Amino acid sequence: MTFNTLNYSKMYNRRIAMRKGIGDAFYSLFLLSVLVGIIGLITLLVQVLTEGIPWLSWRFITSFPSRHPQEAGIFSALMGTIWLMGLTAVFTVPIGVGAAIYLEEYAPKNWLTRLIELNIANLASVPSIIYGLLGLTIFVGWMALGRSILAGALTLSLLVMPIVILASREAIKALPLTYREAAYALGATRWQVTKSVVVPAALPGILTGVILAMSRAIGEAAPVIAISALVYLTFIPTSPLDRFTVMPIQIFNWISRPQNEFRGLAAAGIIVLLIILLSMNALAIFLRNRYQVRTEV
């Protein structure tokens, strides 16, 4: 259908059908991109599940690594991961949240603040293996902590610190100004306002950020390899100065072996790792939803 009584229509060559066709063709390509992403994800998960499930058992979780695939398990790596994550959280949370509070509540607008902000943005994209080299030199070497859990935890804390700082800043920034004004109007000092109003109100957002940071740390293999090297451990660490291994390294170890059985063990280890990650993310989503409900009311 055309509208012909209008101004100067002959001056245009609108080719609407062709333009629609081009649009539709590109639409198919965009849709295809989404499908490629989703199919990639599904294929990866299916591959891991089909290879790993036959090897997954309670015995797998409670056994030490072994040269015999039938007897091998992930227990020491699982315990190493729990130790490492616990210590990492102890270092990361107070310092990361502290830095975020400083930048949001205290920092004057000057060159130092700008430098800190630029620096944090840069640190967030330094390759993780570089953090491993930092830890190897400073914590393992100069501070003489050896290839210990403590050295590993300090290294991972530095690695995920930018994530905690950025998430905590977002959570603090999202608080309505009225919260703070109400407290200041009652005569509270800046630190009182921070301690008793800002931090409690931003806590769910901060916790979400901490969980996301921990789920990044839990999957890291490269920096931990630089710290701990590839060790074969048949004991559970009992102190922060013990040697350790973690799940991603154990998985890497099994992947590197030529025998197919070890590939199955690797897949089973991946399933355990993914289940832990999934639970952490579910917890983060749960916290976020609760938080949203609370602010809406």
Partner 1 sequence: MEQDLTKSKSKIIWLGDRAKSTWGKRQNIEGRAAQIFLLICALLSIATTVGIVVSLVSQSVGFFKEVSIWEFLTGTRWTPILIPRSYGVLPLVVGTLLVTIISVIVAVPIGMGIAIFLSTYAPEQLRRIIKPVLEILAGIPTVVYGYFAITLVSPMLQKVFTNMLIFNALSAGLVMGLMIIPMVSSLSEDAMMAVPQSLKEGAFALGATRFEVALKVTIPSALSGIITSIILALSRAIGETMIVTIAAGATPKMTFNPIDSIQTMTAFIVQLSLGETPHGSLEYNTIFAVGLLLFLMTLIMNLLSQWVVSRWHRRY
Partner 2 sequence: MQNSNYLYNSNILEVKNLNVWYRAFQALKEISLSIPRHHVIACIGPSGCGKSTFLRCFNRMNDLIPGTRISGQVLLDGQDIYNSGVDPTEIRTHIGMVFQKPNPFPKSIFDNVAFGLRINGFKGNIKEAVESSLRRAALWDEVKDRLNKSALTLSGGQQQRLCIARAIAIQPAVILMDEPCSALDPVATLKIEDLIAILKEEYTIVIVTHNIQQAARVSDYTAFFTMADDRSGILVEFGKTNEIFSNPKDKRTEDYITGRFG
Site for partner 1 in 178-217 (CB under 8 A): 189-192, 194-195, 215-216
- Site map for partner 1, 244-283, x if CB under 8 A? ----x--xx--xx------x--xx--x--xx--x---x--
- Site map for partner 1, 146-185, x if CB under 8 A? -x----------x--xx--x--------------------
Which CB, 19 or 173, lies closer to partner 2? 19
Q: Applying CB under 8 A, does 225 fall inside the site for partner 1?
A: yes
CB 213 within 8 A of CB 121: no
Q: Applying CB under 8 A, does 53 fall inside the site for partner 1?
A: no
Q: Rounding to the nearest 10 degrees, give the CA dihedral for residues 68, 225, 82, 158.
A: -170
Nearest-approach distance from CB 86 to partner 1, in angstroms: 19
Cα angle for residues 75, 80, 85 (degrees, 5° grid):
130
AA letter at 149: I
Site for partner 2 in 229-288 (CB under 8 A): none
Q: Applying CB under 8 A, does 25 fall inside the site for partner 2?
A: no
CB 48 within 8 A of CB 267: yes
Which CB, 2 or 178, lies closer to partner 2? 2
244 CB-near residues (< 8 Å, 6+ apart): 80, 83, 84, 148, 149, 152, 228, 231, 233, 237
Cα angle for residues 149, 151, 153 (degrees, 5° grid):
65
b (16+ CB within 10 A) / e for 22-39:
eeeeeeeeeeeeeeeeee
Tell me the site size for partner 1, rule CB under 8 A: 91
**Cα(245)–Cα(234) distance, rounded to whole angstroms?**
10
Which one-letter DSSP state was computed for residue 110? S
Partner whose binding site includes residue 169, from partner 2, partner 1, none (CB under 5 to 8 Å by kind): none
Q: Applying CB under 8 A, does 96 fall inside the site for partner 1?
A: yes
- Site map for partner 1, 18-47, x if CB under 8 A? -xx-xx--xx-xxxxxx-xxx-xx-xx--x
Nearest-approach distance from CB 11 to partner 2, in angstroms: 5
Nearest-approach distance from CB 9 to partner 2, in angstroms: 8
**Cα(125)–Cα(118) distance, rounded to whole angstroms?**
12
Partner whose binding site includes residue 3, from partner 1, partner 2, none (CB under 5 to 8 Å by kind): partner 2
Partner whose binding site includes residue 38, from partner 1, partner 2, none (CB under 5 to 8 Å by kind): partner 1
Phi, psi dihedral angles at 130 (to 5 degrees): -65, -40
Q: What is the CA radius of gyration of the chain?
A: 26
Which CB, 58 or 142, lies closer to partner 1? 142
Piece of the chain touching partner 2 by CB under 8 A; list 2-10, 78-86, 119-127, 130-138: 2-10
Binding site for partner 2 (CB under 8 A): 1-3, 5-9, 11-16, 19-20
